[in-house]
Amino acid sequence: MIKDSARAIIIGGGISGKLIAASISPYFDRVEVLEKDAKAKENSVRPGVSQGHHIHALLHAGDQMLEMIFPGFKDDMEKKGSIKIDSLNDFYWFHHGAWKIRSKSEFSTFLQSRPFLEEYIESRINIIKNIAYSYETKVLAYIGSDDKRKVIGVKILQDGERKTLSADLIIDASGAASFSKSWMEKQGQKVYEEKVEIGLCYATRQFQLPDKERDFKIKLTYPNPPFEKIGGALSKVEGGKYIATLIGYINSIKPEEVQSEEGFIKYSKKLPLPDIYQELSAGKSLSETRVFNIPHIVWRRFDRIHMPEGLIIAGDSFCRIDPFFGQGMSIAALQANEIGKNFSKGNRSTSGLQKKLAKIVKPVWSMVICEDFRYSEVKGKKPFGLAIQQWYVKKLFKISATNLSIYKDFVKVMNLTSPITTLFKPSTIKEIFKSK
């Protein structure tokens, strides 16, 4: 085994892996990011992150964390061609049967494709001297200490050879396909999974739309549950292109129906409103249809087991959330920040850290499953008090179509910059009970 002083290994070089590497780099002599894929061509999607073909909104929490981790991020993104938006004025959102109120605001973020964002992040970590990013390096398993209390290394496959690497810290950021649960179970620790079957399908194409003044930069049509199951999004991204995404819950999109350009555009006619269809019919498709299925969302409760020292599970390896709420990358950024904080001030222990990451996931998971369970076909363990929560937030959604102050609070919670309690101010509760 190779032994360096204070060496951290990160499994997976996606959004989580890269952000965690940057966050912990001040506290470790060497941080190694091991990525199984080969390096992709500029701005293209790697097989390990094939969700990167689809719309990837960056919420305010993600945007703020990225600026904190990489000072100058916002200026750089704007210069490079990301689309800066006023999140209330440039974002058209049809939600639970009503358009959200629009107004000039203090909220902003950027629109870009996922590979464009990841390429920028990679360029920033490449200049951090103690981070080494290795492509074509697959991690196969952990190496535990004899007493099973610690994880002390990993087994890898690199250049066709099996090797072992020792480390003081190992972070699993390998996404939804992570082997951590099965490895842990082989060590005799059952990892409980909260699983909600949503049968969600994404279908995406890139479009060139006719050059004209538009009063939006991103448009989102949510299906109004339980009756509507199909939603859509149209987002301007770098290079003047648009990403058009159709989504369907409960297996309502049949991939073969949206495969051709004609089929895709025709399908967009089924959206609750005709405006995305009208835009696409006048446009020219620039790509084939990409399909991504999310049969279920899952939260693997590593926070409820006795985690071995030296191991942390982050990002989608820990929890894959319903992506149509656009929160995954921001959760990854918040977790990266939490992990970084844990190792500041000379601490080297991972004790209690998984529970801190769970605290980031919990309110988001609760918000998301509240919405997903509006479909009676969705299967999973329903939380206590769900019906009341659904009643309350449905009213709040409706009010936020006309009440700017309540909408702003909702935007802050949705964007993970304010706690969920923000939605329970006495004045808001009063409005909820007053509304029909």
Please report, as ranges, the residues that interact with ligand FAD according to CB under 6 A: 11-17, 34-37, 48-49, 51, 54-57, 138-139, 173-175, 177, 202, 292, 294, 315-316, 323, 326-330, 332
Pick 49 or 151: Cβ nearer ligand FAD: 49
Q: Which two tokens stand for residue 38?
A: 């080969």
What single string gives the DSSP state of each residue in 76-87?
Answer: HHHHHT-EEEET
Q: Which is nearer to ligand FAD, 154 or 271 (CB)?
A: 154
Smaller CB separation from ligand FAD, 324 or 397: 324
Asked whether the bond before 226 is cis by omega within 30 degrees of 0, the reply is yes
What are the residues whose beta carbons fall under 8 Å from the beta carbon of 256, sequence distance 6 or more?
Answer: 263
Hey, what are 67's tokens?
């600026």
Q: How far is the CB of 169 from ligand FAD (least distance, A)?
A: 16
Rounded least distance, CB 272 to ligand FAD, Å: 20
Report, in angstroms and rounded to the nearest whole number, the Rg of the chain calculated over CA atoms.
22
CA distance 138 to 128: 23
Cβ of residue 187: shortest distance to ligand FAD, in angstroms? 18
Min dist CB 14 to ligand FAD, Å, is 2
For the bound state, the minimum distance from the C-beta of residue 385 to ligand FAD, rounded and expressed in Å, comes to 27
Six-digit token string for 152: 């002390």
Please state, in angstroms and rounded to a whole number, the distance separating the CA atoms of residues 310 and 350: 6
Q: How wide is the angle at C-alpha 413 spanned by C-alphas 429 and 228, nearest 5°? A: 85
Through-space distance between the first and last CA atoms of the chain, rounded to whole angstroms? 67
Pairing assessment for the beta strands 230-236 and 242-248 based on DSSP bridges: antiparallel
Could you tell me if 116 and 64 are in contact, meaning their C-beta atoms sit under 8 angstroms apart? no
- Please tell me the number of Cα atoms within 13 Å of 76 on its side-chain side: 14
* Least distance between ligand FAD and beta carbon 354 (Å): 15
CA distances to 177, 178, 195, 317, 394 from 297, in Å: 12, 14, 6, 11, 22
> Cβ closer to ligand FAD: 201 or 370?
201
> Toward ligand FAD, which CB reaches closer, 11 or 88?
11
Q: With respect to ligand FAD, which residue has the nearer C-beta, 49 or 184?
A: 49
Residue with smaller CB distance to ligand FAD, 292 or 343: 292
Strands 30-34 and 131-134: parallel
Instruction: Name the minimum Å distance from CB 230 to ligand FAD.
Output: 15
Instruction: Work out how close the CB of 399 gets to ligand FAD at its nearest, in angstroms, rounded to a whole number.
Output: 25
One-letter amino acid for residue 220 of the chain: L
Tokens of 244: 């058009």
Q: How far is the CB of 163 from ligand FAD (least distance, A)?
A: 13
Q: Which is nearer to ligand FAD, 248 or 315 (CB)?
A: 315
- Rounded Cα gap, residues 324 and 200, in angstroms: 9
Contacts of 299 (CB under 8 A, 6+ apart): 193, 194, 318, 319, 361, 365
CB 328 within 8 A of CB 114: no
Residue 139 or 399 with smaller CB distance to ligand FAD: 139
Q: How far is the CB of 135 from ligand FAD (least distance, A)?
A: 9
Residue appearing with tokens 């074509």: 136
Q: Which residues contact 158 (CB under 8 A, 6 or more apart)?
A: 134, 136, 137, 138
Nearer residue to ligand FAD within complex by CB, 174 or 428: 174
Distance of alpha carbon 396 from alpha carbon 422, whole angstroms: 12
Residue with smaller CB distance to ligand FAD, 49 or 367: 49
CB 177, min distance to ligand FAD, A = 5
